[in-house]
Amino acid sequence: MSAEPNSSANRYEGVIQSLHQLHEKYKDCREGALATYIPELSHADPNWFGIALADVNGHVLEFGDSQIEFTIQSVSKPFIYGVALDALGRDEVLRLIGVEPSGDAFNSIEMQKGERPYNAMINPGAIVATSLIPGKTASEKVEHALHTLSEAAGRQLRIDENTYRSESETGHRNRAIGYFLRNLNLLDQNVDEVLEAYFRQCSVLVTARDLAMMGATLANMGTNPLTGRPVLGLETVRDVLSVMFTCGMYDFAGEWAFRVGMPAKSGVSGGLTAVVNRQFGIGTFSPLLDPMGNSVRGVRFCRDLAEAHGLHAFNFTNVGSRFIEATLGL
C-alpha cells in the first residue's frame, strides 16, 4: 500500500489516516462477485482495491491500487449526459431523457410512462445521451466523448479495444434497448453506430485517481482543478449532480442517498466516483460487485468516510459543505 500525498502532506494528516484505516479495514473483504456478462471483465483480479481523493485545488491522496487501469463503464454516463446537456440545452434533453429514478436494474428495458428513458444514469437514457454527442459518425462521437472524459480526468485517456470488442460481441441486450429507443423515435440515427459509440465510451481506461479527479472537476463547478480548463458548463454540472444524487447507484440509489448522501456513479467494472460539492471528488476501484452492480468495497468505503467526516449533504453538523476548512484547518 502506498500513500502518495503531495507537498502539502502535513496538512492532510487526518484525512490520510482515515483513508489508510478504511483501506486496511476493507482490503481483505472478499464479498461480492466479478461482472461476467461482459466476458473481458471476468479477468479482473478480485484483490484490486484502490482509493483516491482529489480536492478542488488539485491535491490528490491515493491508497492501494489507485493507478491500475480499468474500463470506466457506467461512470462515463454522468459526463456524457453533461456533453448532451451542454450541446442541446436542458429542455431538449429533458424531452428525450427523464430525471426520475427507475428503481430497477441498469440494463432494464423499460421506459417512464412508456415514453422516454427514466434517466441518463441507466442504459436506455445513456444510449440516448450518446446519440446526442455532437458528431455525425460513431468515430466523431467517440472522439468527442474521449476528449471530454480526458479533460475531466486531466490526462489523455484511451480505449481498451479488448473490452470494447468483448462488449460489442455480447451486447445484445443493449442492442435490444437501442432498437426499442429507435422504435419510440428517441433515436433518429443508425442504431448500430450509436451502440458502437456507447460501447467504446464504456471501454475508456481510467484509474481510481482519474475517477477522483473527474469527481473533483464536477465538485469544482465543471473546471478541472489541475488544468484549470472548463469541461462542462455551470448549469450542466448542477443538473448532472442532481441526477447522480437521485439515480447514480442503480436500484440502490435511494439507500445510497439516505446513508451516504453524495452524488455518485458506479460502473460494473468496479469503479465509483462520488462528489462532495465544491470540496472534492472521491474515486474508488474494486471489481467485486454486490447484486445491484455496485462495488462492495467502494460503497462501504464511501459510507464510512461520509460517516467519519460528516460528508452527507444533509448532515446536521453540515461539515460536508466546508470539509476542507474543517478537516484541514485551511
Cell digits for 290?
454486490
Q: Give the integer Cα–Cα distance in Å for 116 and 128.
A: 9
113 as an active site residue: the answer is: no
Supply the angle between the helices 161-170 and 191-202 in degrees, to the nearest 10. Answer: 140
Which residue in 313, 243, 259, 261 sits closest to 79, CA to CA?
243
154 vs 271 by CB, closer to ligand GLN: 271
61 vs 249 by CB, closer to ligand GLN: 249
How near is the Cβ of 120 to ligand GLN at its closest, in Å? Answer: 13
268 as an active site residue: the answer is: yes
Catalytic choice (56, 60, 66, 77): 77
225 vs 287 by CB, closer to ligand GLN: 287
Q: Give the integer Cα–Cα distance in Å for 153 and 45.
A: 24
How near is the Cβ of 75 to ligand GLN at its closest, in Å? Answer: 7
- Decide if 55 contacts 324 (C-beta within 8 A): yes
26 vs 106 by CB, closer to ligand GLN: 106
Q: Within the chain, where are the H helices?
A: 13-27, 77-88, 90-96, 123-131, 138-153, 161-170, 172-183, 191-202, 208-219, 234-247, 253-259, 296-309, 323-328
Question: Strand 70-71 relative to strand 60-64: parallel, antiparallel, unpaired?
Answer: unpaired
49 vs 250 by CB, closer to ligand GLN: 250
Catalytic choice (12, 26, 81, 198): 198
74 as an active site residue: the answer is: yes
How near is the Cβ of 324 to ligand GLN at its closest, in Å? Answer: 30
Q: Give the integer Cα–Cα distance in Å for 126 and 141.
A: 14
281 vs 287 by CB, closer to ligand GLN: 287
163 vs 223 by CB, closer to ligand GLN: 163
Contacting positions for ligand GLN (CB under 6 A): 73-74, 106-107, 123, 167, 174, 202, 267-268, 293
Closest-approach residue to ligand GLN (CB)? 74
Going 56 to 60 to 62 to 67, the CA torsion angle's sign is positive
Catalytic choice (66, 74, 166, 269): 74
250 as an active site residue: the answer is: yes
Distinct helix (H) and strand (E) counts, the chain: 13, 7
How near is the Cβ of 202 to ligand GLN at its closest, in Å? Answer: 4
How near is the Cβ of 288 to ligand GLN at its closest, in Å? Answer: 14
- Vertex 206: Cα angle to 77 and 101 (nearest 5): 20
Catalytic choice (81, 204, 250, 295): 250
How near is the Cβ of 173 to ligand GLN at its closest, in Å? Answer: 7
- Vertex 72: Cα angle to 215 and 187 (nearest 5): 100
12 as an active site residue: the answer is: no
Q: Measuring CA to CA, how many Å separate 139 from each of 156, 178, 200?
A: 17, 18, 9
Catalytic choice (237, 243, 268, 296): 268
How near is the Cβ of 155 to ligand GLN at its closest, in Å? Answer: 22
Q: Which residues are catalytically annotated?
A: 74, 77, 198, 250, 268
